[in-house]
Amino acid sequence: MTTVFLNGAFMPMEDAKISPMDRGFLFGDGIYEVIPAYRGELVGFGPHIARMNQGLQLVGIDFKWDVVKWRAICAELIASNQGDNLAIYLHVSRGTDSKRFHAYPDNVAPTVFAYAFEIPAAPVPDKAQTKGYKVATTEDLRWQRCHIKSTALLGNVMHFQHGFAQGCNETILFNAHNQMTEGSACNAYIVKDGVVITPPLDNHILPGITRFMLLDILAKHGAIEVQERSVTMDEVCAADEVWLTSSSKEIAPVVEIDGQPVGDGEIGDVWLAAQTLYTAHKAEY
């Protein structure tokens, strides 16, 4: 029987239950460590706990147990689980909320989970007993696969929180070349001289269903020109209108960015025309 630790208690693995509303499950919103323990001796324990505390602080999870408490949990997992050589897995998520909303919740206790699993005996400095690895190579795309609607959303959550903490409804993101990519949970557009401009689909943005429907409706209707091309920060600042789209927002007009008005600071006429068309045709999809 595997004994695990969950939220303050030790229990059989099969009794450990976490809500599907846990933000670790919904957003990948948590921090973890894996610490080896050879014949009961933890290796690198202090630095592992220090890195965990640093990670928790960096993602704004207000949680800190001292090394004495973590060591006692690790010792109990080592004592109560079989195997000479174990790794201890520690995981703190932001906790279980009542709703799925990107911003950090108030008054939610982090979920704390730990368990032990068997690992091979410690490597020995002896060529005869050591097997060399074969590896492959590829471009480092972590995590630039924004076109995949993955639940690994901690990056998005942190970007959403950036705006939310300032009283904003969303955060618009730019790449290292000052080109707009998308919002933390939506696609983004500018309107200039009546033309709607939005970044092209690639691995840096999610191919939003609302984006697809909107561009399709505008193309069929024909009165509003659309360009799919990169949009610089300067163009965003000089735009007549800025919009966001997502399934829950449809087309949301942005009237202020970083405290500055977009255009004349009022909701634009091109937005009105586009949202009117979208409202009329969305049921066709």
Q: Of 25 and 89, which has the nearer Cβ to ligand PDD?
A: 25
Least separation in angstroms between CB 24 and ligand PDD:
16
Among 181, 172, 183, CA closest to 247: 183
Give the residue, chosen from 88, 185, 231, 270, that forms a contact with ligand PDD under the rule CB under 6 A: 185
Instruction: Please tell me the distance from the alpha carbon of residue 100 to that of residue 185, in angstroms, as a whole number.
Output: 12
Among 48, 62, 65, 46, CA closest to 5: 65
Q: Of 93 and 245, which has the nearer Cβ to ligand PDD?
A: 245
Whether the CB-CB separation of 222 and 196 falls below 8 Å is answered with: no
Q: Of 33 and 170, which has the nearer Cβ to ligand PDD?
A: 170
Which residues are catalytic, by number? 149
Least separation in angstroms between CB 8 and ligand PDD:
31
Helical axes 209-221 vs 269-281, angle rounded to 10°? 100
Candidates 104-112, 161-169, 209-217, 255-263; binding stretch for ligand PDD (CB under 6 A): 209-217
Give the residue, chosen from 67, 209, 233, 257, that forms a contact with ligand PDD under the rule CB under 6 A: 209
Give the residue, chosen from 156, 196, 204, 242, that forms a contact with ligand PDD under the rule CB under 6 A: 156
Instruction: Please tell me the distance from the alpha carbon of residue 4 to that of residue 189, in angstroms, as a whole number.
Output: 48
Give the residue, chosen from 98, 129, 137, 248, that forms a contact with ligand PDD under the rule CB under 6 A: 248
Position 208 contacts ligand PDD (CB under 6 A): yes
Looking at beta carbons, which residue is closest to ligand PDD? Answer: 208
Least separation in angstroms between CB 105 and ligand PDD:
15
Q: Which amino acid does the sequence have at 15?
A: D
Report in angstroms the alpha-carbon separations of 262 from 81, 126, 171, 192, 230: 60, 66, 14, 11, 19
Least separation in angstroms between CB 68 and ligand PDD:
39
- Residue 118, helix vs strand vs coil: strand
Instruction: Please tell me the distance from the alpha carbon of residue 233 to that of residue 177, in angstroms, as a whole number.
Output: 9
Q: Of 69 and 100, which has the nearer Cβ to ligand PDD?
A: 100
Footprint of ligand PDD on residues 163-182 (CB under 6 A)?
182
Q: Rounded to the nearest 5°, which phi and psi values hold at 188?
A: -130, 150
Identify the residue whose tokens are 């690790």: 74
Q: Which amino acid does the sequence have at 273?
A: A
Candidates 119-127, 137-145, 157-165, 201-209; binding stretch for ligand PDD (CB under 6 A): 201-209
Q: Of 70 and 189, which has the nearer Cβ to ligand PDD?
A: 189
Q: How far is CA 29 from the centre of its chain?
A: 7
Among 235, 260, 248, CA closest to 177: 235
The size of the interface with ligand PDD (CB under 6 A), counted in residues, is 14
Candidates 17-25, 83-91, 108-116, 243-251; binding stretch for ligand PDD (CB under 6 A): 243-251
Instruction: Please tell me the distance from the alpha carbon of residue 6 to that of residue 9, in angstroms, as a whole number.
Output: 6
Residues that bind ligand PDD (CB under 6 A): 156, 182, 185-187, 206, 208-211, 245-248
